[in-house]
Amino acid sequence: MNTIKKYSVIGALASLVLTLALPTRSVADENDPPSRVARLAYLEGPVSFRPGGTDDWVDPGLNRPLTIGDQLWSDRGGRAELQLDGSLLRLGAQTSASI
Domain of 73, in residue numbers: 38-98
Q: Is residue 84 situated within a structural domain?
A: yes
State residue 83's pLDDT score: 92
Residue 23 located in a structural domain: no
Predicted confidence at residue 99, as pLDDT, reads: 84
Q: Are 41 and 15 in contact (CB under 8 A)?
A: no
Tell me whether residue 13 is in a domain.
no
- Could you tell me which residues come within 8 angstroms of residue 94 by beta carbon, excluding any fewer than 6 positions away? 74, 75, 76
In a domain, 89, yes or no: yes
Could you give the CA distance from residue 85 to residue 67 in angstroms, rounded to a whole number? Answer: 13
| Number of independent structural domains in the chain | 1
Residue 71 has pLDDT above 80, yes or no: yes
In a domain? residue 87:
yes
Determine, yes or no, domain membership for 93.
Answer: yes
In the chain, the percentage of residues whose pLDDT exceeds 90 is: 49
32 found inside a domain: no
Band of residue 34 on the pLDDT scale cut at 50, 70, 90: low
